[in-house]
Structures are given as structure tokens and as C-alpha cells.
Amino acid sequence: MSQAAASSAPLADALKHTAEIVNAELDHLLAVPDGPESRVHEAMRYASLDGGKRLRPFLVMQSAGLFNVAESSSLRVACAIEMVHCYSLIHDDLPCMDDDDLRRGRPTCHRQFDEATALLAGDALLTRAFETVAAAATHPDPAVRCELVWELAHASGADGMVGGQMVDLRAAEFAMDVAAITRLQQMKTGRLIGFSCEAGAVLGKAPGVMRQALRNYAHDLGLAFQIADDLLDVEGDASEVGKKVGKDAGAGKATFVSLLGIERARAQADMLAKQAVRHLDVFGDKADLLRATASFVVDRRS
């Protein structure tokens, strides 16, 4: 059995377990009240329960596991990052952005509900994420909660994901070379992945050198993830990927694949995945699932 195959079974089990506990916690955090406002709650649940790989929550749980953080703490942060991710997917799918009909193999939120409800569901998931992190149940130390709020805001906002989305929307105005695409993707997808990996270190009050190791791992993992995403847009199958493919080429967008070609893009993703793993040496065997995640991210079919 190859090394990758040998490590993929425990990873698949661990991802499945994380998905199950995240679903259960989201079910609890996103309860539907009575009253006419219940429609926005239903839309929040539609867009965030029972779907996706739960990669970001998995990274939170695994990074927190390195520092023996209580699962009750890390699970709340894991759910918060998934809420931010799901909000971004709802808004990204809206007619004013990508105008997509399919997400996670189902109608997008605005198709299932309506545009205004989808917009509000995204807004409410974002704010519920911060409410969740800030609550006392997340960590007994208010300084830790405050740092998580600050880091999550920074990763999600105009200097992070939202800023990256803005650059993406304006990409046709600029000559986008590999350096410019790398910066865009680090903002748009890399920053949330970075938060996910560092959150465990914040929760566990980890030494700076360990937090930096996770930051470095996340940097390379995030780029590898994005190159794999670009490859899926070219090589993937919509029924497997769960969303429309061929969109980047159709829109004439510069991507890692359009700039480097398929072979070099794949080689770059593999190189980044190997480099990501090397940053984990400081954690020994405890980081084996994070090591396996690097291979998963570049080999995934969805």
C-alpha cells in the first residue's frame, strides 16, 4: 500500500467524525425561533448544515488537538469558521457575484429561497460566527476570546477574504501574473485557512514557535488548496465537484492553471503540499492527520 493510501483511511474517518460533530453543534447553534423571521434561520441552516468537506472546522479541531484544548471550545470555533465560510459561499453565488445555481450539489441559497433572504442569511451567519466565538462558553479566558475575534475579523474582512473577493472582481482591470494571483488567493481563501490552523494555537496558548509553524503550514496548504481548486475547475466533473466547472476558462479569468498550465500547476500544488508537511516536524506524530490533510487537499475530487 502506498504511503498516501495508508494514511487516507484514518483521515477519511477523522473528517467524517468532524463533519458529524460539527453538524450536531451547528444544529444547536442555529436553532429556528418562532415568528416570521424564521425564514432567514431556515436559509442559514440550509446553507450550512449537512454539506461540504468541513475542511476548515477539521483544521481547527486538529490544531487544537495539538495543545489538548477541550473539544467543547474548539468545536465552537470550528462552527464559527464554517459559518463564515458558508456566508461567503452564499454571497459568492448571488447574481451580483458569480450567479451560480448549484452549490454542494444542491440549488444555491438564493435559488432555494430568494435573493434578499440569501443576502440576509449570509449576513446573519457572519454575525452569528462572531457571537459564537465571543461567548463565554468558547474559552474561560476573555483575552483568548478577544484574540480569536480579532483574528477572525482580520481574516474575513477587507484585508482578508472580502478584500480578495474585491481584487477577484476587478482582476480583468489588471495584468494578473502569478504573484498577483498568489496574493489574491492568499487573501480570498488563504486567510480563512490560516485562521483555522492558528485558532488551535490561540485556544491552547501555544508558544510562538508552534503558532508560527502552523501559520507556515497554513500558508502552503492554502495555496495548494487553491491550485487544486483551479485544477478541478478545468479537470473536474460537476456532479462530483457539486458546483459548475469550467467557469474560470469560460470567463477568461487568469488562474494558476491558465498561467502555469495543468502540468506545472499540479507540480506546484504537490510541491506546496510537501512543503506544508515539513513545517509540522515540531509536533511529531500528533500532527499526522494534518500531514495527511496536505495530500488530501491536492488529491481531492470535490
Q: Which residues bind to ligand GRG, rule: CB under 6 A?
A: 52-53, 55, 85, 88-89, 91-92, 97, 104, 161-162, 165, 188-189, 229
Cβ atoms 134, 147 nearer than 8 A: no
Q: Which is nearer to ligand GRG, 55 or 133 (CB)?
A: 55
Cβ atoms 197, 215 nearer than 8 A: yes
Question: Taking the complex as a whole, how short is the minimal distance between the CB of residue 233 and ligand GRG, in angstroms?
Answer: 8
Task: Give the Cα separation of 148 and 200 in Å (integer).
Answer: 10
Question: Taking the complex as a whole, how short is the minimal distance between the CB of residue 71 and ligand GRG, in angstroms?
Answer: 21
Question: Taking the complex as a whole, how short is the minimal distance between the CB of residue 162 and ligand GRG, in angstroms?
Answer: 5
Question: Taking the complex as a whole, how short is the minimal distance between the CB of residue 142 and ligand GRG, in angstroms?
Answer: 28
Torsion angle of C-alpha atoms 221, 147, 121, 54, degrees rounded to 10:
30
Q: Which is nearer to ligand GRG, 130 or 210 (CB)?
A: 130
Under 8 Å CB-to-CB from 272, ≥6 apart: which residues? 220, 221, 223, 224, 227, 298
Cβ atoms 149, 77 nearer than 8 A: no
Q: Which is nearer to ligand GRG, 92 or 147 (CB)?
A: 92
Q: Which is nearer to ligand GRG, 144 or 218 (CB)?
A: 218
Question: Taking the complex as a whole, how short is the minimal distance between the CB of residue 293 and ligand GRG, in angstroms?
Answer: 12
Q: Which is nearer to ligand GRG, 100 or 147 (CB)?
A: 100
Q: Which is nearer to ligand GRG, 187 or 206 (CB)?
A: 187
Under 8 Å CB-to-CB from 243, ≥6 apart: which residues? 100, 102, 103, 104
Question: Taking the complex as a whole, how short is the minimal distance between the CB of residue 301 and ligand GRG, in angstroms?
Answer: 11
Task: Give the Cα separation of 170 and 110 in Å (integer).
Answer: 23
Question: Taking the complex as a whole, how short is the minimal distance between the CB of residue 104 and ligand GRG, in angstroms?
Answer: 5
Q: Which residue is nearest to ligand GRG (CB)?
A: 52
Give 48-52's long-range contacts (Cβ < 8 A, gap of 24+). 48/82, 48/83, 48/86, 48/125, 49/23, 50/23, 51/104, 51/105, 51/106, 52/82, 52/85, 52/86, 52/104
Residue 52 DSSP one-character state: S
Torsion angles phi and psi, residue 107, rounded to 5: -55, 140
Q: Which is nearer to ligand GRG, 97 or 120 (CB)?
A: 97
